[in-house]
Amino acid sequence: MIESSYHLRNKFLKKNRIILTTEMLVAINLRLCDMMKNFYLSMIVLFCLHKINGERTIYSILHLLNGKKSSQTIQDAHFFRLTSFFSIYPSIKRVELERIIDFLQKQRFISKNTEQSYCVTSFGIKQLEEYFKQNPIPVYLNGWKYHNLTELFWERLSLAVQVISQLKNRNSKYLPIQKNKELHHWLKEYLFKSKLSKDEIAEKLYDELVACLETIDGIDPSILVRRLTGFSLIGLTENQAADLFDLDEGAYHIQFLSILHYMLEKVGTKQSDFPLLSFMIEDKKRNVPLTESSNRTFNLLQTGYNLDQIAHMRNLKKNTIEDHLVEIALNIPDFDVTPFVDIEKQKKIIAAINSVSSKQLKHIRVLVPDADYFEIRLVLAKGGERK
């Protein structure tokens, strides 16, 4: 079981034979208390460590949770099946991750593999299974698919609800909860294009929200609703809402994100049922979840240009364009990699992938020396890894 903060503190004192002042005791307790407040985040990190199994450093997890749009992070998210967690904690810092790693190691959940990589112990795996059995990761969480839309959708939704509520109640004396002038401009256009009266748009937006949220399973919609501000009602902050629902801050954050991802999925697939909600993201949606640069490369590929031509046209190195191709292969199901890796070599690479336990490219290349790293990454991206 997880050791209490009191027990952890006493072990630390006994081991180091330290006599502490009252101020030092308070500081230690505050740090341990802060760790327990974010225990869910610690277990997410443990889950990621279990998935990567010592094949990447702990900082690959930092980049994943931050949503770093490097080719390595994007590939890792897909190869290790961690796309749900992409960019779900964009503000987590290196020092916070290191504190979590230290905490997990003291709990005997992980053991050091190399200087910056760790493996989850059998005890850690057991604790991981027990914890997520009681606190499951929401099925709607989809960081990779919606990381570009989530924050903007929430900003627009929360501002629209506040302003429409005030308009319905004929109140003009309030401070907008969102300060961004671009959001204010967007809302004016939103209200104008709806061609609805104040009362009509309030009723229709309410109906859409109820219809969207009433079918969600496994998460209380109030987790999001209590954050909304309206006429004579002030929405809660994230910390206040976490306290209200008796959730640690990390768990609340994930459930809140999951509701937004659920709404984006439902609104995106049934636009005619949710015209007011779908308009909130209409100008930002993409057909494929590619980074901006990879999307430009993809468009040029579709026009018929080869890799060398695209690299020259875009004034980029060829290996950067190759990174884009791997991202394209990861995200577009019908993308054909045969022009870049012939069928026979694909078969050899797949056979090598399935004969080794590691996803490290150097181990695969030993078995297929005539394949370069780009070709291996491309085959891996197309689902060549063991299921």
d(CA 178, CA 186) in angstroms, rounded, equals 12
For residue 25, name the pLDDT band (cuts at 50, 70, 90): very low
When pLDDT is averaged across residues 38-42 and rounded to a whole number, the result is 91
For residue 290, name the pLDDT band (cuts at 50, 70, 90): confident
Q: In terms of pLDDT, which residue wins out, 192 or 29? A: 192
Crossing angle (nearest 10°) for helices 22-37 and 39-52: 60
For 188-204, the pLDDT digits (tens) are: 999 999 999 999 999 99
When pLDDT is averaged across residues 320-335 and rounded to a whole number, the result is 90
d(CA 202, CA 170) in angstroms, rounded, equals 12
d(CA 32, CA 11) in angstroms, rounded, equals 13
Q: Nearest-5° angle of CA 216, CA 285, CA 146? A: 50
Residue pair 81/138 in contact by the 8 Å Cβ criterion: no
Work out the mean pLDDT of the chain and round it to a whole number.
Answer: 87
For 146-178, the pLDDT digits (tens) are: 998 999 999 999 999 999 999 999 998 889 999
For 91-123, the pLDDT digits (tens) are: 999 999 999 999 999 999 999 988 889 999 999
* pLDDT higher than 80, residue 355: yes
For residue 17, name the pLDDT band (cuts at 50, 70, 90): very low
For residue 333, name the pLDDT band (cuts at 50, 70, 90): confident
How confident is the model at residue 30, as a pLDDT? 45
